[in-house]
Structure 1
């Protein structure tokens, strides 16, 4: 819908980034992670749509004819998402965005946790405490675009229905294979779904600055 979720290629990076990172730490079972993962204090999402990732969608009927995506949707430069991927490469993860910077944490089923950071135009990859600078465009490591402003091709899309997610009323929009649910009250996206993935948005305007872990300094 925003050209931000469906085109991300985070999992495509795993074949090279994970192997390269593990090559430098294959004899090291430890991690420098302090256990918090950095997401607890950075998300801070009370009152911003958090906690919906396990909630089922319950259809409530048709949408008013005059509700378009461009008219209703709202965004902030800071937000967080919970990610669930199914299919051939199951994975779960999170992404925190703060004013253009981001931190992604993705874990493939049976694989290591991979962290990717995009800060001040630079990209870092951290696997099992082995952190390396990566010369690729930082946007290649973000699963959801850091700028979710809708493009002109979707602003006129009309809502196809209404529903509730975790008790919150949402408008339902569709764009090709993607379905996105937008809060009736706030205009913030709540969830995006495709055949093999679910992304739940929360913590709009409530994240804190992203910082690199000590092992990346």
Structure 2
């Protein structure tokens, strides 16, 4: 939870402040057209898992070793060769192309769960997969992205460098 806010630029740009690891966990609440959806995901070593729930319906997506798996209603579908994860979700892409991150300066600080955060506002898909204007909270201590808030909802990030591996679903899958 965001607890306080101090306005005023901190002098450190987002590009300088943010750090990424090869794994992380994310949870989010998304709102669109009066509907709310919950999501949780895990990224590790280029593989990504996402569980999405809306109106009691659960869909799981796995992007593993270049393949995309979709699990819904007890069925698994495999789309071979379609497993590329968006560059915004892949910390390796961000590390290889830091110039894609904005040079925007922190507009102030706040605390989330007792931890000091640098606060940035900008629109950039390269930072966290968010295309519209959003507020980004980066840990002043670790440099890890902690939260992104915008019109779409809220995404929280944690377990940087310690997320469990992502494997293909353990079930028979139909190719499509």
Aligned partner of 1:113 in structure 2 is 58
Matched ranges for 1:24-173 at <5 A = 55-64=1-10, 66-88=11-33, 89-108=35-54, 110-135=55-80, 137-139=82-84, 145-147=89-91, 149=94, 151-173=98-120
TM-score (norm 2): 0.81
Q: What secondary structure does 1:85 align onto? A: strand
RMSD of aligned residue pairs (Cα, Å): 2.2
Check conservation: 1:169, 1:183, Cα contact below 8 A. Answer: yes
TM-score (norm 1): 0.67
Flag structure 2 segments of 5+ consecutive residues without an equivalent.
124-132
Q: Per-residue displacement from partner, 1:61-109 (whole Å, max 9, x unpaired)?
A: 3232x2111111100010010011013142001010011101100001x
Check conservation: 1:95, 1:104, Cα contact below 8 A. Answer: yes
Q: Structure 1 or 2: larger strand share?
A: 2
Flag structure 1 segments of 5+ consecutive residues without an equivalent.
1-54
